[in-house]
Amino acid sequence: MAEPSKVRDKAFAEFVLPEVEVLLRVAMTLTAQPADADDLVQDTLLRAYRAIDRFDGKHPRAWLLTIMRRVEINRHRRRRPHLLDDPDTDLDRVPSAGAAASPEEVVVGKGFDEAVGAALAALPDKHREVVRLVDIGGLSYAEAAEVLGVPEGTVMSRLHRARKRIRTQLAAAGLAPKPGRRRT
């Protein structure tokens, strides 16, 4: 009979290690900071190693993403950042684009990056997560739904609402067409 640690190591190598690249990509979209993403992946791998003997071998990616989601939720519970900050204060400091600025100048300008960052920060957490996973991280709707533990339709709905809010914020800052105006 094989030693329990060798069985665990073999299962870990077979089911977990091939998924590390995906875990890193998802962690980057969840945290947006490389150091935080590395910590999140490390915590996920540690928990997976401890629980590998209870894993049935089916759907390792879904199992690992569930672990990662729970680790990230627990990390957020501990820190609760910016709950009392006013997200609109950042928008007040964003300079509006001049009337003579070309679309390229608006997008490349520093004000645009700040306005997009402020609009993203102003989103509710559940909408911000979807934008980071799909629009920034490049995950499919199905992959984002798996990471978040929600139906795919919920991801699509949250993403639609988030994009609409971002467009509205950018329009208010003079960096996008006003809602209702047609581009010709």
Residue 157's pLDDT is 92
- Going residue by residue through the chain, which has 184 residues, state the pLDDT in tens, using 9 for 90 and above: 567 788 888 988 999 999 999 999 888 888 878 888 899 999 999 999 988 988 888 889 888 988 888 888 787 766 554 444 455 544 444 444 444 555 555 455 566 677 778 888 889 989 988 988 888 777 888 888 988 899 999 999 998 999 888 888 877 877 666 665 555 4
Query: What string of DSSP letters covers 73-86?
Result: HHHHHHH-TTSS--
What confidence score (pLDDT) does residue 81 get? 45
Q: What's the pLDDT score for residue 78? A: 64
User: Is the distance from CB of 53 to CB of 165 less than 8 angstroms?
Assistant: no
pLDDT score recorded for residue 70? 86
**Angle of CA points 61, 40, 132, to nearest 5°:** 75
Q: Where in the chain is the domain with CATH 1.10.10.10?
A: 88-172
At 46-58, the pLDDT tens digits run: 999 988 988 888 8
Q: Which candidate, 141, 163, 161, 160, places its Cα nearest to that of 152?
A: 141
**Residue 158's pLDDT is what?**
92
| Distance of alpha carbon 161 from alpha carbon 158, whole angstroms | 5
For residue 41, the model assigns a pLDDT of 92
Give Dmax (Cα) for the chain.
77
Q: Is 32 helix (H, G, I), strand (E, B) or coil?
A: coil
Query: What's the rounded Cα separation, in Å, for the pair 21 and 59?
Result: 16
Taking residue 102's Cβ as centre, other Cβ atoms within 10 Å add up to 9
For the domain made up of 4-79, the CATH class stated in words is: mainly alpha
pLDDT for residue 92: 47
Choosing among 3.20.20.190, 3.40.50.620, 3.30.1360.200, 1.10.10.10, the CATH entry for 88-172 is: 1.10.10.10
Residue span(s) of the chain under CATH 1.10.1740.10 come to 4-79
Report the alpha-carbon distance of residue 171 to residue 18 in Å, rounded. Answer: 44
Q: Residue type at 103?
A: P
